[in-house]
């Protein structure tokens, strides 16, 4: 609430992520994606307020106290690949020591040799070079720091993984390798009832989302405006919301045409559709709030193929 003004960073976000499923949450910077992930882990600023429920099994993450979040949720039930990995790595500890400490906390019966082997195995899963394990975070490039954070998130085998821009700073080959490893994490037995693990991946990289996701959620101005199967979203018939369609058309391998205009300020949202001012399909009807549900639009596309 900057300057005493209340800002709704995320509103009416409704979705499910099942065991064995990857949901990609996409949208422009500032739309509320990372705020949503922080809310699930209890990492919002002290003046932030949350409402509603976020159920992981029987546990409501939004209602959990700090003790429960610290001892039961973070790293054990929910793993996090942070958006800014350098800020989450301990600066005075080597990557190896941080991996070994995390593994020891989760499986305290391991011996020293087993910890070393497990740490190197975790590094390999995240394509982090073993010969860099004894370096400190400040000695790593942005891409290496990202891979170190990914390795730390994977070691707990948490039933839910939140990956906030997990491919930042990586070249295309490493992007593909990283998302393939995240996909393996989802598909491997070991989650609830052996059904695999759930992954919520927040990303600007639509190619990575297409490679890994089962479903796609599109967020705009703090709201999820479309929720669709990934196969339908990236191929025929394509997304139905004009904003979603604009995101795809902006890709270099498509029309390479940017979405016109800028998103509205979250503290000054219009009463009606927040995308109307940028939308070539807007009419007077868009002055009213769009319908709720999996498609928040008065004038959605129906069957036109975005690849055409």
pLDDT in tens, 43-80: 999 899 999 999 999 999 999 999 999 999 998 999 99
* pTM greater than 0.85: yes
> 142 pLDDT band (50/70/90 cuts)?
confident
Residue tagged 């740490």 (tokens): 119
Beta bridge partners of residue 79, listed in sequence order: 161
pLDDT in tens, 215-256: 999 999 999 999 999 999 999 999 999 999 999 999 998 989
Higher pLDDT, 91 or 4: 91
pLDDT at 194 (0 to 100): 65
Domains of the chain: 2-213 (3.40.50.300)
Beta bridge partners of residue 200, listed in sequence order: 23, 162
Laid out side by side, the sheet with 198-202 consists of 78-81, 160-164, 198-202, 22-26, 215-220, 223-229
Asked if residue 7 has pLDDT above 90, the reply is no
Collapse the DSSP code of 22 into the 3-class scheme (helix H, G, I; strand E, B; otherwise coil) and give the result.
strand
Q: 78 to each of 5, 102, 122, 157, 276, how far by Cα in Å?
A: 32, 14, 17, 9, 36
pLDDT in tens, 78-115: 999 988 887 789 999 999 999 999 999 887 767 889 99
% of the chain residues with pLDDT over 90 = 72
């Amino acid at each position: 609430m900057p300057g005493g003004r209340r800002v709704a960073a995320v509103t009416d976000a409704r979705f499910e992520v099942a065991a064995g499923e990857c949901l990609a949450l996409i949208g422009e910077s500032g739309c509320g994606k990372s705020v949503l992930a922080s809310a699930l882990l209890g990492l919002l600023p002290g003046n932030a307020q949350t409402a509603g429920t976020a159920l992981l099994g029987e546990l409501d993450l939004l209602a959990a106290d700090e003790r429960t979040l610290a001892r039961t949720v973070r790293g054990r039930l929910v793993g996090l690949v942070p958006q800014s990995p350098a800020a989450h790595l301990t600066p005075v500890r080597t990557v190896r020591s941080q991996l070994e400490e995390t593994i020891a906390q989760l499986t305290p019966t391991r011996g020293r040799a087993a910890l070393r082997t497990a740490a190197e195995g975790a590094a390999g899963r995240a394509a982090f070079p073993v010969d860099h394990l004894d370096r400190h975070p400040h000695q790593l490039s942005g891409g290496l720091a990202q891979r170190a954070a990914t390795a730390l998130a994977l070691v707990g085998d948490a039933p839910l993984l939140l990956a906030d821009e997990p491919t930042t700073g990586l070249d295309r080959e490493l992007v593909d390798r990283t998302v393939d490893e995240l996909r393996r994490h989802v598909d491997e037995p070991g989650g609830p009832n052996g059904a695999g693990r759930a992954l919520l991946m927040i990303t600007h990289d639509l190619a990575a989302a297409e490679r890994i996701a089962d479903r796609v959620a599109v967020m705009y101005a703090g709201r999820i405006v479309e929720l669709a199967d990934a196969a339908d979203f990236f191929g025929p018939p394509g997304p139905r919301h004009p904003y979603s369609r604009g995101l795809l058309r902006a890709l270099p391998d498509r029309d390479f045409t940017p979405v016109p205009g800028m998103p509205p300020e979250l503290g000054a949202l219009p009463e009606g559709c927040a995308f109307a001012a940028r939308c070539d399909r807007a009419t007077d009807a868009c002055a009213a709030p769009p319908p709720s549900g999996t498609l928040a639009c008065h004038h959605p596309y129906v069957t036109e193929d975005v690849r055409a």
